Amino acid sequence: MIKNLLFDLGGVILDIDRMKAVEALRDAGMRDPEELLGDYGQKGPFLALERGEITSAQFRDELRAHFDRPVDDDTIDEAFCQFLRGIPDHRLRALEQLHRRFRIYLLSNTNPLMWERYILPEFTRLGHDINYYFDGLITSFEVKAYKPEPAIFKAAEELLGIDPEETLFFDDSQANVEAARRLGFHAALVTPENDFITHISKKLPQ
């Protein structure tokens, strides 16, 4: 029996657009944003930030080496956060409804810069905060592990106290879905045609 729902963030709850960030960073003078910034995984300073290996300040300093002109902190932050396009109201309301039937958790590859500047405020738009929607949160930068590595799923299992066999995981990356299944989680691939709401209506009794 499914008792827990475990959600990825970007591409599942939060709409994302990699090319918006790539274009904004290139416009700001970055030479190679498309090589370091991926849809499902990052490289270089972007990856180090999401793994919790460097701070936001260190990230900006390291990233400046990739620009062809001087760039201030706010320009970097604003361009980077163009990756995030917002959470539709209907998804927040769906989480609210699901929370009445299941325990709800978040498992995300993300970073402190986006988390503080954009993600946490986005969850407040309907008058609540992120803890209203989730019973627990696992972020890559805090646990210093990164999907699809087994360590981040083990961290979710241990820190959240969830049983994989009782947990349905949603992600927009096939590699992450397969990693979760290998560890005993139920898992569903989210696509634009099959969002998490569609999956739930098909997989779980109403």
Annotated catalytic sites, by residue? 8
Q: Distance (Å, rounded) from C-alpha 69 to C-alpha 8?
A: 35
Q: Distance (Å, rounded) from C-alpha 11 to C-alpha 36?
A: 19
Q: Distance (Å, rounded) from C-alpha 146 to C-alpha 110?
A: 9
Contact 107, 8 (CB under 8 A): yes
Query: What is the SS3 assignment for 113-157?
Result: HHHHHHHHHHCCCCCCCHHHHCCEEEEHHHHCCCCCCHHHHHHHH
